Amino acid sequence: MADVALVCGGRGALGAAIAEALAARGDEVVVADRETVDLTDADAVEAFWDELAAGGRTPRWVANAAGGFRPGPVSASDPESLRLATDLNLGTAWWTCRAAARRLPEGGAIVNVAARAALAGGSGAAAYAVAKAAVVRLTEVLALELAERRVRVNAILPSLLDTPANRAQGLAGGVPPGELASVVAFLLSDAAAAVSGAIVPVYGWS
C-alpha cells in the first residue's frame, strides 16, 4: 500500500514540485491549499485531518510549503500586515504540525519550509523573517517532542526560487523548485531515518 503524503500549499511553485516528486515515487499525494482547507484556521485543519482519517488516508509524510511574502519595513508596519505574515507563514505550519503530531505513525516525518531570511533577515522583510524564524524554532522543538515516537521533523531554508516571475524581475541564481523538492522528498523518506531537528539550507547560487 502506498504511503499517504500531505502537501500543504501544494498549488504553489514549490508545493506543486513537492507533490510531483512524491507522486513520482509512488506516494498517494493529498494537496491542501486555500481551495480545500483554510490552513490558518486551527479548527478547519483538525477537521481536514479527521476527514482524511475517516477515509483511511492518514498521512505518513507531511510537507508544509504554504506561506506568503509582502515586503515592508518595521517602521511602516501595521497590525494587519504582521497578522497576515504570521498566519500565512507560521500559522499554517503550526496548525498542521499540531494535527500531525497527534496522528502521524511511527516512522512518519514532517518537513517545514522556512526561509534563508529566518537566519539573516534582510531590510524590508521584517514580518516575513520573524515568522519564518518562528518556523525554525517550531521545527526544532517539535522534533524533540516527537522523538520518543520516532516521528521526525526537519525544515529547509530556501533562498530564491527559480521561477518565471522571479526571472522576469531580474532575480537570478535561484534554485529550481524541482531541486528543492528532491531535498524535501529525501527528508520525507526512510533514507533519512536518522535525520530529525535539522535545518537544511538550500541556497543554490544566490
Q: What is the DSSP string of 119-157?
A: TSPPTTBHHHHHHHHHHHHHHHHHHHHTGGGT-EEEEEE
* Catalytic choice (3, 13, 128, 185): 128
CA-based angle 24:66:99, to the nearest 5?
Answer: 90
Catalytic residue at 128? yes
CB 177 within 8 Å of CB 14: yes
Query: Any idea where the domains of the chain sit in the sequence?
Result: 4-202
Q: What is the pTM of this model?
A: 0.94
Sign of the dihedral defined by the CA atoms of residues 168, 163, 38, 133, in that order: negative
Per-residue pLDDT tens, the chain, 206 aa: give them. Answer: 899 999 999 999 999 999 999 999 999 999 999 999 999 999 999 999 999 999 999 999 999 999 987 777 888 888 998 999 999 999 999 999 999 999 999 999 999 999 999 998 778 789 999 999 999 999 999 999 999 999 999 999 998 888 887 787 777 778 899 999 999 999 999 999 999 999 999 998 65
Give the C-alpha separation, 135 to 9, whole Å. Answer: 15
Among 3.40.50.720, 3.40.50.1580, 3.30.450.20, 3.40.1230.10, name the CATH number for the domain at 4-202.
Answer: 3.40.50.720
What would the grid cell of residue 5 be?
503524503
> Is 31 within 8 Å of 37 (Cβ atoms)?
no
